[in-house]
Amino acid sequence: MSDRLAVLPQYVLPKQALTRLAGAFASARAGGLTTAAIRWFAGRYGVDLSEAANPDPASYASFNEFFTRPLKPGARPLDKADLLCPVDGAISQFGAIEQGRIFQAKGHDYSATALLGGDAELAERFADGTFATIYLSPKDYHRIHMPCEGRLLRMVHVPGELFSVNPLTARGVPGLFARNERVVCVFDGGPVAGPWVLVLVGATIVGSMATVWHGVVNPPRPGVVRSWNYEGQDIRLERGAEMGRFLLGSTVVLLFPKAPLSFNPSWAPGRLVRMGQGMADLA
């Protein structure tokens, strides 16, 4: 069966309704039912609770509390690389942005302008830059951290579809990451990285996405682009600091401007990575 045929049911599924239902359940404080769901989920997906700050499934009042669980201190040491991996997950793709196009999977790419909600001026800054796409599976740690230091400039919530973002769907749905709902976070990395962008991509049953400076960004889902400008404020986050989280899993896309960037030689599509591992160095 071809990948496009395999993902065909996703075009007709009521993805928004399923997402609202999943979000309602995930936020519910249902006592024993919540604990049973957490135990089932941890067993089904192989979640390693031994590294969680609180490894007891019965101690989480809601599924969201469990899903966004913090880790024990020191569980993710930071490498010395200039750019760190911001999440636990699997490398989907990485490499050069070629004439403003970002590689998604064999036969598919999409424009940086589309990914950034139609902001051609911002996209132009990354026309010949570098990107990395990392997929978070259900078992992964779902907090997102800073790959390098940065001063927050802007945040944009872009409405869109809610396709799954697993590797099969990435191969089967054209322009997937520029079609799905997403939160675009724009930073100034100063002399280390210059301007850079971290995009949180939504997916089916991703109840919401949140940042540390704003809280929950979605819902609401008003169906129009929403933007917040922070250039008049001095919001700075250190390298490795938490910047946001997914309430149920998804994907992050990183964009960096043109620079002599050298990716970790061990990186390859499909490789499992952890937050804090060295992602790349600036020559």
Q: Catalytic amino acids?
A: 88, 145, 250
Residue 80 burial (CB count, 10 A): 7
Structure token pair of residue 265:
């030689």
> Which residues are registered as beta bridge partners of 150?
237
Amino acid (one-letter) located at 204: T
Residue 5, strand partner residues: none
CA atoms within 13 A on the CB side of 178: 20
